[in-house]
Amino acid sequence: MALAFEAVKAGKSVCFVTLAEISSHRRQAGREGTLGERIWYLALAALLVVDETAYLAAVPGGSSTPVRKIRRPLTPLDQ
């Protein structure tokens, strides 16, 4: 949280979401055909804070797969 606070103080954009929200939005966007747009929205923030990563396995339909690190920035071509 301190990193996010400092980023905001420095004028950077910060997106704060839970892993369960990302999973839920991913499923909904997949059904609606808007997955690329949703991913692009998350990638716009200078800092993406993903909270409650340990709880996803407890959510019905959640995943027990660990989160993968993104090794390069997303671009519009990744849509």
Contacts of 1 (CB under 8 A, 6+ apart): 49
Question: Is the pLDDT score of 71 beyond 60?
Answer: no
Q: How far is CA 25 from CA 3, 29, 32, 34, in A?
A: 25, 6, 10, 10
Using DSSP's 3-state secondary structure scheme, residue 62 falls into coil
Domain ranges across the chain: 2-78
Summarize pLDDT for 22-43 with one digit per residue, the tens.
888 888 888 898 888 888 888 8
pTM of the model: 0.58
